[in-house]
Amino acid sequence: MKLSVLTENTASAHFRAEFGLSYYIELDGKKILFDTGPTDVFLSNAKKLDIDLNKTDLVVLSHGHWDHGNGLKYLNDKKLLCHPEAFKKRYHKLDYSYIGLELSYEEIKQKFNLTVSSKPRHITENIWFLGEIPRQNDFESLTTSFIDDNNEADFVPDDSALAIIEKDGLIVITGCSHAGICNIIEYAKETTGVKNVKTVMGGFHLKANDAQTRKTISYFKEQKVENILPSHCTRLPALAAFYDEFKIRQVQAGMVFNFN
């Protein structure tokens, strides 16, 4: 499996960065664009990586936040897969700033061949879209800083991920892990039937070196995950805690990973 980082918070030489996430995944003869970031940066970085996004077979939206999906306005006539709640209006509690998608549900239906699913969905023999993630442990997704347009707490029920089977091991690719990265991994194992977690990559939504981060690190140690690549919404104190424990690499725009 080949994964190219098209959008990430951190830049590398010759590649632009912005607050957001976009990955290009190649496996099983399929080319999948996982999130688009907030602007057209993913397009320019793809060009520098000699990636032709016109050949994309499927766009997967991890959840309906601006920094993962506003780049959709630069695409047309693609297959798009996401959770049905990805189009809801959502805001920050603190200042009521809008954080949902710029395009409406109706506009996206006109631009894309849209499929929505709250249930796990097979993309290929070895790639799963997980749909809605059950939130089962006692330390993740307990609070939220978001509200919807009814002024009710928004726990981002549409937050999803990809589970990829590679040589009897599991690769989990996340957008922001609002559902909790450990909850996501457990559901990926349940959905695929594969218990050996080799790689976890994406936003972990950890903000501090606090109890949640420490419990997450303990979970990763128990799972014996070989490759741990937190990025995007994983803030520096949490990244430092992961580095101290696992000597992780910093994910940067323009990086290319080959997992096998």
In degrees, rounded to 5, the angle at the alpha carbon of residue 140 between the alpha carbons of residues 97 and 158 is: 55
Give CA–CA dist 242/244, Å, rounded: 5
3 state DSSP class of 95: coil
Domains of the chain: 2-258 (3.60.15.10)
**CA separation for the pair 25, 3 (Å, rounded):** 5
Tally the residues of the chain. 260
Instruction: Encode the chain (260 residues) as per-residue pLDDT tens digits.
Output: 999 999 999 999 899 999 999 999 999 899 999 999 999 999 999 999 999 999 999 999 999 999 999 999 999 999 999 999 999 999 999 999 999 999 999 999 999 999 999 999 999 999 999 999 999 999 999 999 999 999 999 999 999 999 999 988 999 999 999 999 999 999 999 999 999 999 999 999 999 999 999 999 999 999 999 999 999 999 999 999 999 999 999 999 999 999 97
CA distances from 109 to 158, 160, 212 (A): 17, 20, 38
pLDDT of residue 260: 76
What does the pLDDT read at residue 216?
Answer: 98
Residue 40's pLDDT is: 98
pLDDT for res 168: 80
